[in-house]
Amino acid sequence: MNTKLKEGQKAPHFSLLDASLQLFSLADFQGKWVVLYFYPKDNTPGCTTEALAFTRLESEFQKANAVVLGVSKDSCASHQKFIDQQKLTVALLSDSESVVQKQYGVWCPKKFMGREFLGTVRSTFLIDPNGVIRKIWDEVNAKGHAEEVLSTLKLLTTE
């Protein structure tokens, strides 16, 4: 696991802009579950698969009193293009300086084709209505992930 955060601890506070330049802060969602998913890049195959799945299931997340927030280094303009091209409905937040990604421990060394670089490790944090991290998924496989998160959320909300 890459993240230094642990299940059961308070989620780090953040404030980021979405595609339409609206400010989203974790504190805005007090009393709601937050699905905070970090992904590497707009309009790439895995990230598109994941965003489309969260969009398809968004009404199910809403029924469970949850909001879905995607975060990447991409600019707000890039997010808007991604949303328009893929007809996404989930909020995508821009963390261009990787500040929040570093707070959540998902900005890490990665290897690709023998080259090492810093990048976003696809990860998801399920944060409860009191701001506590209840579940962490690290190094996520995009296919089937949104369904797994929804299933876990439903289990936790019936406890």
pTM, entire model: 0.93
Examine residue 48 and state whether it is found in any structural domain, yes or no: yes
Give me the catalytic one of 47, 83, 91, 150. 47
Q: Which CATH number covers residue 61?
A: 3.40.30.10
Mark whether 76 is an active-site residue. Answer: no
Q: Which long-range CB contacts under 8 A does 65-68 form with residues at least 24 apart?
A: 65/31, 65/32, 65/33, 65/129, 65/157, 66/32, 66/33, 66/34, 66/35, 66/153, 67/29, 67/32, 67/33, 67/34, 67/35, 67/91, 68/35, 68/37
For the chain, 159 residues long, give each residue's pLDDT as a single digit of tens: 445 899 999 999 999 999 999 999 999 999 999 999 999 999 888 899 999 999 999 999 999 999 999 999 999 999 999 999 999 999 999 999 999 999 999 998 887 788 888 888 899 999 999 999 999 999 888 899 999 999 999 999 986
Examine residue 59 and state whether it is found in any structural domain, yes or no: yes
Examine residue 119 and state whether it is found in any structural domain, yes or no: yes
Examine residue 6 and state whether it is found in any structural domain, yes or no: no
Tokens of 64: 């469970």
Q: What's the domain count of the chain?
A: 1
Q: Give the span between the Cα atoms of 68 and 53, in whole angstroms.
A: 11
Examine residue 134 and state whether it is found in any structural domain, yes or no: yes
Residue 134 belongs to what domain range? 32-140
